[in-house]
Chains A and B, each alone.
Chain A
Amino acid sequence: MSHKGIYSKLITLFSLLLTLLFVYTAVSKLMHLDTFQLRVERMPYIASYATVISWAVPFVELVIAGLLWFARYRTLALYASLVLLGSFTIYISIVLKYSESIPCSCGGVISTLGWTDHILFNITFMFMALLGIICNNKQNIMQSHQNTVQ
């Protein structure tokens, strides 16, 4: 199998997993939007923006999940995944360090994870997004070399 074939398969795999994560959490949040908003209102530092956040987060997650499947926007979507997951992880880490406790505004079964597990979970998907970016860039470089040779 050529490197290009491996990169393509890895990108597809990471895109599948990220799509699964974002669609799952977005749909879980949208199914109980009032509950999600209530939880965000009880979170430190961001409670004032609860209404905006409760709509924006699932919307952004769904947009990213969609963009992952268009070659033209895939790199953007992978970077957005990395930034979004990184923001969640940093926020959780800050609040855990400086606050007593926070309710989990996560979607679905992810809310049953402990905070350490949740951070590890986020870091795993951030790593996948990062690998996806690297593979995508390598694939683009190989493609441009091929086009140049031809």
Chain B
Amino acid sequence: MKSNFLKLVLPAFAILLAVGLAFATEDRAVFQDGHYYDTAEQEWRSIPAEGCGETGNTLCKHLGYQLYSMPSFGSTPLRKNVP
């Protein structure tokens, strides 16, 4: 009786706890657009540049192209912090 109770309650508790934690630690990511000049297509393209901003210890790149805050080489090159 006790064994069956634990076999049902424990997994149910773990699942509920995990689901609750997932909702509690929810972090809706907000992506800044990053712009890069695609030399193959000879045009500027944009992508969501997650984790990139104007400061950081590493340059943000996509497919080897540097990401910028605006579709212009004169704008701020985007950077990110890599631990």
A23 and B58: CB pair below 8 A?
Answer: no
- Pair count A-B, CB < 8 A: 65
Q: How many residues of A contact B (CB 8 A)?
A: 29
Interface membership of A49, Cβ < 8 A: no
Interface membership of B1, Cβ < 8 A: no
Set A12, A16, A32: member contacting B28, Cβ < 8 A: A32
Interface centre among B25, B51, B80 (most CB of A within 10 A): B25
B7 and A27: CB pair below 8 A?
Answer: no
Interface membership of A35, Cβ < 8 A: yes
A69 and B11: CB pair below 8 A?
Answer: yes
List 12 additional A-B contacts (Cβ < 8 Å) besides A27-B19, A101-B58.
A19-B18, A21-B18, A23-B14, A23-B15, A23-B18, A24-B21, A27-B18, A38-B50, A39-B50, A42-B50, A103-B51, A108-B26
Give chain B's interface residues, CB within 8 Å of chain A.
6-7, 10-11, 14-15, 17-19, 21-23, 25-29, 48, 50-51, 58, 61-62, 80, 82-83
